[in-house]
Amino acid sequence: MTTLNHKLPIADGRSPSTNRWTAAIRWSAGAVFVAFGAGKFVNHASELASFRHYALPAPEVFVYAIGALEIVGGLLLASGRRVRLAALALAGDMVGAIVVSGIGRGEDISLSLAPALLVAMIFLVWKAR
């Protein structure tokens, strides 16, 4: 009698454990992006005040654009659709957050969570190929 090894490759050539880790990263990062993106609409005045300190042109537009990017990108990650495109766009978002608010303003969340999310997005771009 033979038994199946739980590490056998599945349809896409990856082991089930690899797929589980990738899915967990997609879902958790997606949830974080949706939450932070929604915050840019729900707490708009506070977010706008922060964006004004970043010396960006048209901070009103940036708050909405970044909020929309994070919500749509997060939903795409969580759903497993267009993962590579979403992860690439969100990686750019995280580079901007690290440079503008992390390095530029010393904001802790942009020096801790944003780099972690950037690494996760790079991983997803690599895995989605």
List pLDDT tens digits, range 83-106. Answer: 999 999 999 999 999 999 999 999
Domain limits of the chain? 32-127
CB 34 within 8 Å of CB 75? yes
Whether 108 shows a pLDDT value over 50: the answer reads yes
How far is the C-alpha of 26 from the C-alpha of 70, rounded, in Å?
13
Query: CA-based Rg of the chain, rounded to a whole angstrom?
Result: 17
Residues comprising the chain, all counted: 129
Amino acid type, 55 = A
What's the token pair of residue 106?
């010393």
Q: Is 71 left (phi over 0), alpha (psi -120 to 50) or beta?
A: alpha
For residue 86, the tally of other CB atoms under 10 A from its CB is: 28
Average pLDDT over residues 63-68: 98
- Report which of residues 8 and 67 the model is more confident about: 67
